[in-house]
């Protein structure tokens, strides 16, 4: 059983509902399960009918949930970098460093990187604190970028570390010429090395211990986006799990829904053909709000992922 699952797709296809339902199923089978949302428009708490924060809280027997804010994580990360810089750069340039960091805190790249750091922490807890991690991902484009970040950031971090090591080498040379051969620690360099190692572990963990389940509804635009996402994720070395087609009109329906069913059949045939190797799950159009533990647990019973 793959321990880490990502559910992602075009906005509005029901991935949050399915992620919560699948997590409840895992918890019901006796696995210590954490479900987290990385979608900026958090609705996981709405689906579970409870308030959530960035820290996991128990919402059902065996199930914890959290909603991760990239902005909040970015502010924490910037504060850590500022503290490292305070020990590594001259005091007279610290005001300029703080101004630069304040601007960086609002950039999309910083937010996504900080979000990845928090997700990495949670993935590292799988096997100790959690048996299963279910991630309700942001819409497709954001999810693809987030999952690609470990591969993209690693060489950048390596470059920063090399530059810092070269600067340290010059400092040591000058200090030696002045007769000061004391070797002082460099918090900034240590953090760069630690982050590089964590990114490498995360990249390997995503490739070996995670599955991405793409969720769509049987319509032309969600299908096109799903096909693009599948190609991008596969090229990045990530494994695709069962593709979930949500809100499929049952064949027993009549009237308007029967017409809708006929329109869906071509899309379903294309999905089944394209993803036959990894498997496709059709989730029928269901009545009710599909919120709260009881309704979601019933839905989870149908999710053989």
| This prediction's pTM | 0.81
Average pLDDT, the chain: 84
Percent of the chain scoring above 70 in pLDDT: 81
Architecture in CATH for domain 4-300: 3-Layer(aba) Sandwich (3.40)
Q: Please say whether the beta carbons of 215 and 166 come within 8 A.
A: no
**Maximum average pLDDT range among 63-77, 144-158, 228-242:** 228-242
Of residues 74 and 235, more confidently modeled: 235
Sorted by where each begins, the domain ranges of the chain are 4-300
User: Residue 164: its pLDDT value, please?
Assistant: 62
User: Residue 258: its pLDDT value, please?
Assistant: 83
Range in 59-73, 141-155, 198-212 the model is least confident about: 141-155
* In the predicted structure, residue 177 carries a pLDDT above the cut 50: no
Q: pLDDT digits over 33-48, tens only?
A: 999 999 888 899 999 9
SS3 assignment for the chain:
CCCEEEEEECCCCCHHHHHHHHHHHHHHCCCCEEEEECCCCCCHHHHHCCCCCCCCEEEECCEEEEECCHHHHHHHHHHHHHHHHHHHCCHHHHHHHHHHHHHHCCCHHHHHHHHHHHHHHHHHCECCCECEEEEECCCHHHHHHHHHHHHHHHHHHHHHHHHHHHHHHHHHHHHHHCCCCCCCCCHHHHHHHHHHHHHHHHHHHHHHHEEEEEEECCCHHHHHHHHHHHHHHHHCCCCECCEEEEEECCCCCCCHHHHHHHHHHHHHHHHHHHCCCCCEEEEECCCCCCCCHHHHHHHHCCCCC
């Amino acid at each position: 059983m793959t321990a880490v699952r990502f559910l992602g797709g075009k906005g509005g296809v029901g991935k949050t509902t399915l992620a919560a339902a699948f997590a409840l199923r895992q918890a019901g089978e006796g696995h210590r399960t954490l479900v987290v949302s990385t979608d900026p428009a958090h609705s996981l708490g709405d689906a579970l009918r409870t308030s959530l924060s960035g820290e996991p809280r128990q919402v059902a027997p065996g199930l914890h949930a959290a909603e991760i804010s990239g902005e909040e994580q970015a502010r924490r990360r910037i504060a850590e970098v500022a503290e490292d810089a305070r020990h590594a750069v001259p005091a007279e340039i610290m005001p300029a460093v703080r101004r630069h960091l304040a601007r960086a805190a609002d950039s999309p790249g910083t937010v996504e990187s900080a979000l990845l750091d928090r997700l990495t922490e949670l993935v590292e807890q799988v096997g100790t604190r959690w048996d299963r991690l279910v991630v309700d991902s942001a819409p497709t484009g954001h999810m693809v970028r987030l999952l690609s970040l470990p591969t993209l950031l690693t060489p950048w971090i390596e470059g920063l570390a090399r530059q810092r090591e070269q600067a340290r080498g010059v400092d040591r040379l000058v200090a030696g010429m002045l007769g000061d051969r004391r070797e002082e620690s460099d918090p900034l360099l240590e953090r760069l090395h630690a982050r590089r190692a964590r990114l490498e572990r995360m990249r390997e963990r995503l490739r070996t211990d995670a599955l991405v389940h793409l969720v769509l509804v049987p319509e032309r635009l969600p299908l096109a986006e799903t096909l693009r996402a599948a190609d991008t994720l596969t090229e990045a070395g990530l494994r695709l799990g069962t593709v979930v087609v949500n809100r499929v009109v049952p064949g027993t329906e009549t009237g308007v829904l029967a017409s809708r069913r006929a329109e869906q059949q071509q899309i379903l045939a294309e999905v089944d053909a394209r993803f036959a190797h990894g498997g496709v799950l059709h989730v029928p159009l269901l009545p009710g709000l599909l919120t709260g533990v009881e309704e979601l647990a019933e839905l989870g019973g149908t999710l053989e992922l």
